Amino acid sequence: MHKISGYKYKLAFLLFCCIPSLGLARVIHKQVNGTSREVHILFTSDIHGYFDSKILSPHSHGNGLYYLANIINHRRAKLKQPVLLDGGDLLYGSPSSFYYFFGQKTKRSYPFITLFNKLRYDAWVVGNHDFQVPLVSLIQSHRIKPPPLADNIGRTNLFKPYTIVYKQHLRIAILGFVTPGTPMWSLSVPSSFVFKDIVKQTKYWVHYVQHKEKPDLLIILFHSGLDAKYDSITSKLNHRPLVNSANLALQAVHGVHLALIGHTHRMYPYKNKQPVKYVHHIPVVWGGAFGKALQEIVLQIHRQQHKWQVTHTKVLVYNAKAKAKGSRKYKRKRKQYIQKKYAHLLAYMHSSLPFRSNKIKQKQAKPCWQYIVGKSVLHKKVPISLLFSIQKPYTNIRRNLERYDLFSLLRYRDQLVYPMLTTRQIYKLSHSIALYGNYRLKKSQKLHLYSNQAIPSILHRNTNPFLLHTQDELYSVAMTSYVYAGGGGYMGALFIPIDRTIQKQGFVIDHVFHYLQSNPTLPAICSFLYRKSVK
């Protein structure tokens, strides 16, 4: 009998231990690289800082991140490693977001951001209205996590071009693109940021990520509309790339498994069992707005030739208002939270005005509110105001008007800007017959002109504005930052020199509030508003 040497004993022992583990490894490998599986994506978009709509409007259906959070947590407990994404315009647009970013005198933590961080989103794309808040400081101070995506913003390292998340042993790449029209709608965008064409940037980054990261799945978040024709005239007038071009971008790439659309406020599918739409064989889902619903996208994927393919897509919709009804325990918990976190907001927004409103149609109420908004921003140094149409003014309010009621008047809580305009420019902006090349302004798109002095006589002439002399007298004009930055294409053809522009901080809503507080009488067009003393 031959003796077995020491090293052979060791070899035999290792083989004895490893053979079972190799078999186990094969089983694990087979499970990981299975041929079919389901991936669940939870998607929100364009929440605009709505935490809970019932805070300031108790009779609303109930929507906002507070309700979505409970749905998200419930679905996360039921599912296997879902991906949680947001389509942009996350932070700004609600009255409560206005208060926490601009209205308060002392800096308090914003409960919306606190809740967003607790939900542990995997990725979100920056939206155009997110630039209306101190976004740069929020990201640099790590007060919002994770940092947003934006592949098509150049000259800054503030945003990540893409992120890789690992779910169910899958390597999932997520890219994000924001509309190049952002500088047209916000004066808060740093001048150093360059917003590039979405189509070109999508082609570049999809190719880059596919070759460098070799992901199993690739998802694109677009904060941009699908239809390139929509707002195309506005883009040309303001010399911007197409502001809505997700459709063209998807047609220019291959290997994208899912496209999620924000910015348009459209939701589709908006109910269960609706068929998913495809663009260039890519499933596309629109995320809606204001935290009204959560969408759950279910991707059935199959592995063929070492690549994952989407074989079927369905969308489940969970409405926030269903949760808003809630149980008594849920309502009691919510009330305690609101009283604790939003006491200062409630006091600010419910500041009372000495006016009430009789019942009147919104169409009849608009001229009055246009007059009030126009007059409230005028003073000696600013003799003229140009403001776009009032949105949906409140009517038939039997209680004293409050600051909150004024938030229905203007589009995006606009700041005031005072550029120096010539009479020719004022004429073009305040007349619906103005022609910008082949583009004709509609009646609803003209700006409303108000003045506290004699309006220049040249504006009363029935004269082609293009024939007016360029040496017209200059006037300081009050207008909203939305209009001045190019919203609707108004300013695109005027080319106002920077040295003729005076930008002032301050919000139109604050001016309207103080105007109504200090003016005891209103003109005849405002007869539906009657004065009552504030208690």
Residue 262 has pLDDT above 60, yes or no: yes
Show the DSSP H helices in 352-480 as ranges.
362-376, 423-430
pLDDT at 22 over 60: no
The predicted structure's pLDDT at residue 436: 54
Residue that has been written with the tokens 């893409």 in this structure = 162
Rounded average pLDDT over 374-382: 89
pLDDT (0 to 100) of residue 343: 83
Angle between helices 111-118 and 65-78 (to 10 degrees): 10
pLDDT tens digits along 94-121: 999 999 988 876 667 788 999 999 999 9
Contact 441, 434 (CB under 8 A): yes
Report whether pLDDT(354) > 70. Answer: yes
On the question of pLDDT at 62 being above 90, the answer is no
pLDDT in tens, 183-218: 888 888 888 899 999 999 999 999 999 999 999 999
Helices (H), 91-231: 95-98, 111-118, 135-140, 182-185, 198-212
Q: By the 8 A CB rule, do 249 and 199 touch?
A: yes
What pLDDT, on the 0 to 100 scale, is given for residue 121? Answer: 98
What is the predicted pLDDT for the residue at 285? 97
Take residue 106 and report the two structure tokens written for it.
């002392």
Instruction: Give the residue with greater pLDDT, 330 vs 372.
Output: 372
Count the helices and strands in the chain (H runs, E runs). Answer: 16, 23
> Would you place residue 6 in the very low, low, confident or very high pLDDT band (cuts 50, 70, 90)?
low
pLDDT computed for residue 398 by the predictor: 76
List the end-to-end C-alpha distance of the chain, in Å, as a whole number. 110
From residue 460, how far is each of 248, 431, 465 by CA, in Å?
Answer: 45, 11, 11
Assess whether pLDDT exceeds 60 at residue 259: yes
Query: What confidence tens digit (pLDDT) does each residue in 423-473 have?
Result: 778 877 877 655 555 555 565 667 888 887 766 655 655 455 544 554 577
Question: Does residue 445 or residue 347 have the better pLDDT?
Answer: 347
Query: Phi then psi for 155, rounded to 5 degrees?
Result: 65, 30
Residue 78 banded pLDDT, cuts 50, 70, 90: very high
Taking the CA of residue 93 as centre, how many other CA atoms within 13 Å lie in the half-sphere pointing to its CB? 26
Paired sense of beta strands 293-304 and 36-44, if any: antiparallel
Nearest residue to 196 via CA among 150, 241, 227: 241
Residue 23: the pLDDT is 45
Q: Is the pLDDT of residue 513 over 70?
A: yes
pLDDT band at 72 (very low <50, low <70, confident <90, very high): very high
Are 276 and 269 contacting, i.e. CB atoms less than 8 angstroms apart?
A: yes
Strand pairing class (439-440; 194-195): unpaired
Mean pLDDT of 370-395: 85
**Strand ranges (E), 201-281:** 217-223, 258-261, 267-268, 277-279
Q: What is the pLDDT of residue 21?
A: 46
Tell me what the pLDDT averaged over the chain comes to.
84
* pLDDT above 60 for 385: yes
Beta strands in 323-401 (DSSP E): 355-357, 384-387
At residue 498 the predicted structure's pLDDT band, cuts being 50, 70 and 90, is low
> What is the Cβ-side half-sphere exposure of residue 18, based on CA atoms within 13 angstroms?
6
The arithmetic mean of pLDDT across residues 77-91, rounded, is 96
For residues 17 and 388, the model is more confident at 388
Residue 493 scores a pLDDT above 70? no
Q: Report the percentage of the chain scoring pLDDT > 70.
A: 84
**DSSP string covering 454-486, please?**
PPPGGGGS---GGGS-S-PPEEEEEEEHHHHTT
Under 8 Å between Cβ of 310 and 37: no
Q: Give Cα 47 to chain centroid, integer Å.
A: 7
For 41, residues 6+ apart whose C-beta sits below 8 A from its C-beta are: 82, 83, 84, 85, 219, 258, 260, 296, 297, 299
424 half-sphere exposure, CB direction, 13 A CA radius: 14
Q: How confident is the model at residue 1, as a pLDDT? A: 45
Task: Answer whether residue 373 shows pLDDT above 50.
Answer: yes
Contact in structure between 64 and 290 (CB atoms under 8 Å): yes
In percent, how much of the chain has pLDDT > 90?
45
Q: Helices in 33-79 by DSSP H: which ranges?
A: 65-78
Query: Between these two residues, 323 and 367, which has the higher pLDDT value?
Result: 367
Give the pLDDT of residue 29: 37
Residue carrying the six token digits 């694990």: 28
pLDDT the model gives residue 317 = 96
